[in-house]
Amino acid sequence: MSRHATGAGRPPSRSAAVPHWSRLIRDVPDFPRPGIVFKDITPVLADAAAFAGAIDASAGAWRAAPPDAVAGIEARGFILGAALARELGCGFVPVRKPGKLPGTTLFEEYALEYGRDRLELHADALPAGARVLVVDDVLATGGTLRAAVALLRRQGARVCGAQVLVELSMLRGRDRWDDPAPLHAALAL
């Protein structure tokens, strides 16, 4: 039996109703390679009311105990994470693809549903013990989120949770989330 992100004995956190902004998410078949259906959130970002609704839905679980910082995963996690950090009144830290950060970095390699990749973080991005919320756009198989959490913890942060805009339930990424930090999705498809 899998452990759910919200802790033992509690159901996974997913939005109960379909939010108004979700109608703008479009499917792009065969991207980035054949057989993959890409969930394109750029129409949500382009619509001011939809973007505000998506950020508000994402902030809901974190308002009572805001983190010290939000760590956004490149690239769409930057957009969502920066807006969420502003909404929650905290700082923002980018988690980047290889070779994008100057200075000393830490890295974590991970598997994607269609290959392998690597994330990097400045070695001094956060003070030791900082409470950090990890943000990404989509939860698919969960490899990217797990890698970001491992990287942040190695850097000395305390990961207080993870937030995604969209969870692709059929890929069962939540079932692979074996972390005690809560995982929230603004929308489960």
The alpha carbon of 66 is separated from its chain's Cα centroid by a whole number of angstroms, namely: 16
The one catalytic residue among 14, 86, 87, 113? 113
Give strand pairing partners of 183: 162
pLDDT tens for each residue of 143-163: 999 999 999 999 999 999 999
Rounded to whole angstroms, the Cα distance separating 27 from 93 reads: 29
Instruction: Judge whether 113 counts as a catalytic residue.
Output: yes
Q: What is the pLDDT of residue 50?
A: 97
Give strand pairing partners of 139: 167
Rounded to whole angstroms, the Cα distance separating 93 from 48 reads: 24
Which domains are delineated in the chain?
66-188 (3.40.50.2020)
Q: What is the pLDDT of residue 113?
A: 63
DSSP state of 3: P
Using CA atoms of 154, 160, 164, 168 in order, give the dihedral in degrees to the nearest 10. 80
The one catalytic residue among 76, 96, 146, 174? 76
pLDDT tens for each residue of 44-88: 999 999 999 999 999 999 999 999 999 999 999 999 999 999 999
Instruction: Judge whether 74 counts as a catalytic residue.
Output: no
